[in-house]
Every structure is written in C-alpha cells, then in structure tokens.
Chains A and B, each alone.
Chain A
C-alpha cells in the first residue's frame, strides 16, 4: 500500500532519516521500532506531510506521491494519531473533530457521525464535552475517531499506549484488530517490545536514522528486538531486593492539597513511608496527581501542615525546596528542559544552580559574596559525567545540546553525586533511550542498596518492576497502600489504576 524508498531528511548536516526503505502492506499492523532520536517521528512526519523530505520517494499504491501537507495526506487516505495530542482544549469534542473534516459539514452532523463511529469501534465519546474536562484516554479516542472519520486506508499511531492504563490499551488493541479486519493498514510506532510482539505483523527497526532490521516480531525475542534497536545488548537491572527494614526516611501523613488550576488534580489524604534501602515506586496513568505529589514532596509547592511531609523524621511540609535539600533530600523533576535544567546554560552552571545551597562550602567562595569556584564545579561536573556515562560534545556544553537520555543521566547523576538520604524522582526515564534508561535505573537501585530511601514516580510498568521493592498506585489524587513488588502483577496494578484505591490486597485479588 505504502512504500518508502531511500527517504532522507537533513537538518543542516545532520541526517535525522538516512535512506529509509519501508513497505506497508494492506491489512497489516506494521511496527516502527526505535529508540528516542532514532528518526521515527521524523519519518512519520514526512509521511503525513508535516515535514518535507530532503530526498527520496514515497509511493502510495505504487504511484510516486508528494505529500506536501497533512491535508494532502488525508486526501490520499493517510490518517494520523499524534503522540502529543493535537487537540484544542477550549473546544468541544465535536468542534475538534469538525476542524479536521472537509468544509461544508454541519456541526450537528459531525457530532452524530462521531458518536456513531465511536460506538462502532468501541470508543465511547460525548461529542458535546469540552476536551479540557476529559481524561488522557478519552482524548486519544477523539484523535482516533477524528482520524477514522476521514475513512483512511493507513492509520499512523505514534506511541499510543504511553498514556493508557493496561485496560485502556487492551481496548485500543481491539479497535486496531477491527481496523485490520476491515483491510486497513496501521503503522504502529512504539518502543514497547511486548506490545509490538502482541499485535504487530511485521516490524521495521530504526537506529540513528537508518533501518537496522525488518522482521516478524513474533519470531523474535524481546532481547533480539532490543539489540536491533540499541545496537548492543541492554544491561538488565539487578533489583535491590533488600529485606532489611531500615528507618523511615521519607514520610507523608494525610497529605491533602487542593488543586491549583482547574485541570490539576487535588491530592486526597496521601500517606506513604519510604524506609532506608527501599525503592517505593508510584504507578499511575498520567494526570492522576503525580506532578502534584512531586511538587508537595519536593517543596516546589509547600503545604501548610508541617507534619504532612517529613524527611529523616523531621517535619518539612511547610519548607521550601532548598530547606529540604539541606535536610538530605534530592529531587529530579519530570521535565528535563526548563525545569530540571536551564537548556541554554552549560552543565557546570546547571550543577551550581541545583546545589549552590546544599554544597555551598564546596562550590562557593567569598562568604556572602557567593563567588562560584568554577574549577571545583567543573571537576564535580566531570565526575558526574564519568560516573553516569554522559556522552556530550565538548567538555562543558550547554544542557540543551545533550540528547534527552544523556541530559537525564546528568540530572540524575547531579543528585546522586551528593549521596542523598532521600531521593524523589518523577518519570526518571521518560523519553530516554533503552541504554540510558537501564543506566539510570541501576543507579537508583544502587542508591537504595547503599541505604537511602528512593521514591520513583513512573508511568512505565516495566520500569517499576525493574527498580521497585514496594509499589503503590496513584489514581485521581489518591494513593493506594504500598504492596511488596513481588506480590503484585500488572493486572492488579491495572485495577488499582482504575481507581480501586484503599482496598486491601485480598479485595483487589477478588475483584480481579
């Protein structure tokens, strides 16, 4: 149906896609595998007319085509569901859908057709709801229904399950199976090997902008697929597995925080304890209060009740982030760019910004003047880069010039370098390639082994099972009890994600 011949996209002298060949047959689910930065997004953006190829050919049903805009792609029969939804929050579901349809269709007709299609494919939607009020899963349904209304022959899905609960993902897979049965093709972009093996007929693997393999994913093992993606074997993380219950180093007691904005989640009576040597992982679907929990625990938004958060046994709920750092805690927030690092500043300056108070004596000279000891900072920065295997261009480049994985390794390393007694990490490996992710996870496990308390907030169940000794689930701002990691299965976590908070383990098992 669709064939791509030696397609290349240059950004300056950098080839994001370099001579890509790809064939998609009709009625197949074709996986596009690759690490972040492998060129998957660039490739599909060219297929959908968002980016113009530098050279190469796209053949649609055997005919060479030039896809100059998303509209042109839709006209020939290509639909796309973006990873970062291209929805308009202030508009209703029907209005959002109408925008992508050809003109001349009345809004009421769109609403009718949308609800018909959404029921047909098992994706229930209320056409008159405002997108701002919908969950991430519901938003994705809008995107899918929007693409389906065009009656496309090829649907491109960019990392569709990264925001879904396992149950929601299952429902999506059923929809994809229906589409396939109708003879439509699906190009499924993912780095989740298990999913690809489960639903995809064929797979094309990209690395550094080149095709490194084409295979039937069901005949491969996760390890062999990972090798194609990464180009080498991925080190598996050895879990902490410590049974010695140490002191409670981080505790939240009845932590309740009202929502700051209309779309934020309120935290409701969150209780948690992390002991020395433990890695508590908090699972949950995006937008269930993870960011708010991190803000409250790190002190970005302190709470009024000092006793709600305690670090190493001392009340810290009303203290700011610097005070909590001085108490021996370290924090790695979710967004690398702009939150954890100032992208335009070199790594050494980013190091000083984070640790100028906690390592005041080391990094600053001149008492109140606070003159930065550049030489000392650079040595520390170099030490962090070496320990975490940060690959960078030059000695001390701007943070923004590093790839996502390398910057994340640096940011995690920046905290680990202090040997914090308590480390709180939000989405430690979001958008990070497999090699860097395993390095970061290992570092978190090692920190716990050395006697610190580690709290990991993550949406990636694979990651959670790799690092956690205890697992709790956050749903709509409520935190479940923590269960030992080896007592939990994906299904149980999925049920907890669906909001069955506060039940005992037995009840969860019964519900299953």
Chain B
C-alpha cells in the first residue's frame, strides 16, 4: 500500500462521520427544522454503540443500538420543538450539552477499554481494482451506508413525491398545511432520521475511527456537520464533496505533523469553518440559487391554526 493510498484511507475514515451526520441534518433542515443538537446526538450514538458492542460482543448490534439511541435522543428535541414549540436554537444547544453529559455517564465504565474494531467487508472482484479497489471496496459497512445514504437522499428529495413534500414543508409550512400535508408528522420523522444518522456517525467514531470510548469523543464534528449542510447549500452531492474536503482538512494536521510541516493545529481545526464562511460569501453572489435551495422556513416554529 502506497503512501497516497494510506493518506486517502484516513481521509475516508475522517470524512464518513461528517457525511453521515450532515446528510441526516440536511433532511431535517429541508423540512425547516434547525437541530443544533447534532454534536450531542453523535456523541450519544458513540457511547451507546460502544457500550452495546462491549456487552454483546457484536459491533453490528452496537451500530443498531447507536442508530436507535441517536433517533430516540432526537425525539426529545422533536417533542420540545414540534409539540411544545420551544425555540429550536436553544433546544438544540441544550441537546448538545445534555448529550455530552449523558454519554459521559453511559461510557464511564468503558473508559480505557480497547474496543472491537468493525471489520471491513471485502467486495469480491471490485476490490481487486488497482488503487481504487482497496480504497473503496475494502471498507466497513458504515462507509458503504454513508455513500448509499447520500445517493438515496438525493433521489428521495428530488425525484420522489415524499421528498417533494419535504421540500414544500421547508419552503412554506403554512401552505403545506393548507394542502393537507402533515407538517408536524413529517418533521418528527425528519428529526428522527437526522438523529439516526448522527447516531450512526457516532458509532463510526467509537467502532471504526478510534475503537474505544473517550469522553467528548465527537470533538466538535457535530458542529462541522452543521457547517457542512450550509456549505453544501442543502444539496446532497455538494455535501458529499464538502464532507470529503472537510475530512481531508481535519486529518491533514496529523499528516502535516508526521511530515514535519509546522502548521498550527488550531489553524487547521478552524479551516472547515473558514471554508464555510468563504463558500457562504461566494454563493451569496448568486442570490437566486441560494434562495431556491435554502429552506425558507428554517428554524421557524409552526402552529396550525384551528
């Protein structure tokens, strides 16, 4: 395995949780709900996936538990913001803080334990392709799922009727309600999809990225995922590209250190956010496109009048 291959492998590992968490948040935001609790849901997924893997010995059951944990945790956000119409920003922040706390409790007995690394699934024939084979077809299941999710969400949002309804709700929830679309129900489902994806992203962290439990191990990736959704202007393809770009940036500090290049690590960890700001400035020039892609109801509470 060459040097470049090794670096690219680490990029894929670093990008996958970002892609996963942000594709879930993209769907949530497309329905007009801003869930700032990605970080909290992610770290919950990581703790639960690790704990369940340790208990059962099967990382696959751990992954499912992580997904379920993230989805259930997001349900709390859904209940507060959709049913009780609490402020989405405040609730999302609270969810992050709460998630960091509870995950610490769940993970406490497992601190310092070495985990079970999720084994790659080798796809026959395709994995024999030189260079690309080992990179793309000798990966763990979470990577395959992340790519499938991006493709699936892109098809779902822009080709399916349910996806059209989601975009309609995000654009104008009042009109959607008047058309008989179930705004609140759809938003609940979208919030839970976001939670499930964040939980899966967390499971990737504690089962693939660094197979162990460390408190606060999401380490700000939830916030990068949020930035990534805006960076991608709510389009799945751009999100995939942005996820790998951000993943490469976040892993570059390790490689830079190894190669003896001295770039302040603080600068590298700030890069995804700087990139987001730059992209926002660039796309703001084409305001029409921004307006068509940005969910107009993002963060606005919806109370049907009756």
- Co-complex (A, B): yes
Chain A: residues with CB nearer than 8 A to chain B?
50-52, 69-71, 82, 85-91, 95, 98-100, 103, 130, 132-133, 261-263
Q: Which residues of A contact B180 (CB under 8 A)?
A: 69-71
Q: Which residues of B contact A98 (CB under 8 A)?
A: 161, 164
CB A110 to nearest CB in B, in angstroms, measures 11
Q: Does B262 contact A (CB under 8 A)?
A: no
In contact, B292 and A90 (Cβ under 8 angstroms): yes
Q: In the complex, A69 Cα to B181 Cα: how many Å?
A: 10
Q: Is the CB of B171 within 8 A of A89?
A: yes
6 inter-chain pairs at a CB distance below 8 angstroms, sorted by A residue, are: A70-B178, A70-B180, A88-B168, A91-B164, A99-B164, A99-B179
From A51, A90, A263, B306 is in contact (CB under 8 Å) with A51
Using CB atoms, name the residue of chain A closest to B286: A262
Please name all residues of chain A whose beta carbon is closer than 8 Å to the beta carbon of B164 when the two chains form the complex: 91, 95, 98-99
Residue of B nearest to A73 (CB): B180
Q: If the complex has contacts A71-B180, A99-B164, are A87 and B175 also in contact, measured as CB distance less than 8 A?
A: yes
How near does chain A come to B29, taking the closest CB pair, in angstroms?
13
CB-defined contacts of B295 to chain A, threshold 8 Å: 90
For residue B216, CB closer than 8 A to chain A, the reply is no
Residue-wise interface mask of B (263-296) relative to A, using a CB-CB cutoff of 8 A (1 in contact, 0 not): 0000000000000000000000001100111111
Complex CA gap A392/B102 in Å reads: 54
Q: Which of B175, B181, B288, B306 contacts A262 (CB 8 A)?
A: B288
Most chain B C-beta atoms within 10 Å of own C-beta, residue among A52, A71, A90, A98: A90
Interface assignment of B165: CB less than 8 Å from any CB of chain A = yes
Chain A residue numbers with a CB within 8 Å of B168 are 88, 91, 95, 99
Cβ-closest chain B residue relative to A88: B171
Chain B nearest CB from A106 CB (Å) reads 9
Find out whether the CB atom of B287 lies under 8 angstroms from the CB atom of A262.
yes
Bound complex: CA of A262 vs CA of B290, how far in Å? Answer: 10
Contact, CB under 8 Å: A88 / B178: no
Cβ of A217 to closest chain B Cβ, rounded Å: 29
B138: Cβ under 8 A from any A Cβ: no
CB–CB A132/B178 < 8 A: no
- Decide if B175 touches A52 in the complex (CB within 8 Å): no
Q: How large is the interface on B (under 10, 10 to 19, 20 to 34, 35 or more residues)?
A: 20 to 34
Known: A51-B306, A98-B161, A99-B164. A262 touches B291 (CB 8 A): yes
B162 to chain A: closest residue by CB: A103
8 pairs of A and B residues whose beta carbons are closest in the complex: A86-B175, A71-B180, A262-B287, A88-B171, A262-B288, A90-B171, A90-B292, A86-B178
Q: Is B174 in contact with chain A by the CB < 8 A criterion?
A: yes
B167 in contact with A88 (CB, 8 Å): yes
Which residues of B lie under 8 Å from residue A87 when comparing CB positions?
Answer: 172, 175
- A89-B178 in contact given A98-B164, A99-B165, A132-B291 (Cβ < 8 Å): no
A263 to B291, CA, bound (A): 9
Bound CA span A98–B164, Å:
9
Contact with A along B156-194 (1 / 0, CB 8 A): 000001001101100110111011110000000000000
Contact A91 to B288, CB < 8 A, known contacts A82-B178, A99-B181, A100-B179: no
With A and B bound together, what is the CA distance between A500 and B7 in angstroms?
Answer: 65
Q: What residue of chain A has the Cβ atom nearest to residue B174's Cβ?
A: A86
Q: A86-B178, A88-B171, A91-B171 are in contact. Are A261 and B287 (CB under 8 A)?
A: yes
Closest B residue to A85 by beta carbon equals B175
Chain B residues lying within 8 Å of A99, measured Cβ to Cβ, are: 164-165, 168, 176, 179, 181
Q: A50-B178, A87-B175, A89-B292 are in contact. List 4 more A-B contacts (CB 8 A).
A: A88-B171, A90-B291, A98-B161, A263-B291
Q: How far is B167's CA from A51's CA once the two chains are assembled, in angstroms?
A: 25
Establish whether residues A89 and B306, one from each chain, have CB atoms under 8 Å apart when the complex forms: no
- Which of A52, A82, A130, A261 contacts B292 (CB under 8 A)? A130
* Residues of chain B lying within 8 A (CB to CB) of residue A261: 287, 291
Contact between B167 and A90, CB atoms less than 8 A apart: yes
Complex CA distance for A85 and B181, rounded to whole angstroms? 16
Q: Are A88 and B172 in contact (CB under 8 A)?
A: yes
Residues in A neighbouring B161, C-beta threshold 8 A: 98, 103
Q: How far is the CA of A91 from the CA of B178 in the complex (A)?
A: 16
Closest to B293 in A: A90
Docked CA distance A257–B51 (Å): 62
Chain A min CB distance to B49 (Å): 36
Residue of B nearest to A48 (CB): B178
Q: Given that A52-B306, A71-B180, A95-B164 are known contacts, is A88 also in contact with B175, CB under 8 Å in the complex?
A: yes
Nearest-neighbour CB distance to chain A for B262, whole angstroms, equals 45
Task: For the complex, give the distance between the alpha carbons of A89 and B179 in Å.
Answer: 15
Tell me, rounded to whole Å, the shortest Cβ–Cβ distance linking A291 to chain B: 17
Residues of B near A132 (CB, < 8 A) are 288, 291-292
- Report the Cα distance A470→B181, complex, angstroms: 48
Distance A388 CA – B99 CA, assembled complex (angstroms): 58
Contact assessment for A89 and B288 in the assembled complex, using a CB-CB cutoff below 8 Å: no
Which residues does chain A contribute within 8 Å of B292, judged by CB atoms? 89-90, 130, 132
How far is it, in angstroms, between the C-alpha of A86 and the C-alpha of B305 when the chains are bound?
Answer: 15
Question: B181 near A89 (CB under 8 angstroms)?
Answer: no
A133 CA to B165 CA in the complex, in Å? 21
For A95, list chain B residues within 8 Å (CB): 164, 167-168
Q: Which residue of A lies closest to B234 (CB)?
A: A90
Which chain B residue has the least Cβ–Cβ distance from A82?
B178
A91–B175 CB distance below 8 A: no
Complex contacts, B306 vs chain A, CB 8 Å: 51-52
| Set of chain A residues within 8 Å of B175, measured between Cβ atoms | 85-88
The answer for the CA separation of A95 and B174 in the assembled complex, in Å, is 17
Q: Which residues of B contact A88 (CB under 8 A)?
A: 167-168, 171-172, 175-176
Q: Please, how many angstroms separate the alpha-carbon atoms of A358 and B276 in the complex?
A: 45
Q: How far is the CA of A92 from the CA of B295 in the complex (A)?
A: 14
Give min CB distance, A94 to chain B, whole Å.
10
Docked complex Cα distance between A95 and B159 (Å): 10
Least CB distance from B175 to A in Å reads 4
- Return A10 CB to nearest CB of chain B, in Å: 13
Q: How far is the CB of A46 from chain B (nearest CB, A)?
A: 11
